Amino acid sequence: MSFFSKILNVLGINTANAADEAEIPSADSTPDVAAHGAIPVVDVVAQLEQKAAANPQKLNWKTSIVDLLKLLDLDSSLTARKELATELGCPANLMEDSAQMNMWLHKQVLARIAENGGNIPADLLD
């Protein structure tokens, strides 16, 4: 399982998408494009806010990839973040500067969560 898949899995996004994929229409059924074409939306914001409120550390998932990974109980070490950055296609010049890599990685992770059905606010995606 890829690192990013672990993020989606913890958020329940893979679970929702897997349920959709498991639904195979029978040969005599009429396909319902509206029902199968949309990605189910997962309330990621509520999940992360709830986890942040319950966490004894002051973690800000909206600005920090390290805090986001900690809230999801995933490895937030530099090695793990470099693995995730490589998986998501981080430019080599950003990989050399951990601060730049972290900012790029945070934006990419939020954008890809949104692409997979997570309700990430637009102001966090620019």
Predicted confidence (pLDDT) per residue in 60-84, tens digit: 999 999 999 999 999 999 999 999 9
Structure confidence at residue 38 (pLDDT): 65
CA distance 35 to 21: 12
Neighbours of 43 (CB within 10 A): 13
In the structure encoding, which two tokens stand for residue 81, read together? 């973040």
Per-residue confidence at 8, pLDDT binned at 50, 70, 90?
A: very high
Helix or strand (DSSP H, E) at 100: helix 98-115
Helix or strand (DSSP H, E) at 29: none
Give the three-class secondary structure for 124: helix
46: pLDDT strictly greater than 70? yes
Mean pLDDT of the chain: 84
Task: List, for residues 19-37, the tens digit of each pLDDT value.
Answer: 443 333 334 444 444 445 5
Which residues are 42's β-sheet partners? Answer: 118
Provide the strand spans (E) within the chain: none
CA distance 93 to 120: 27
**Domain extent listing, the chain:** 3-124
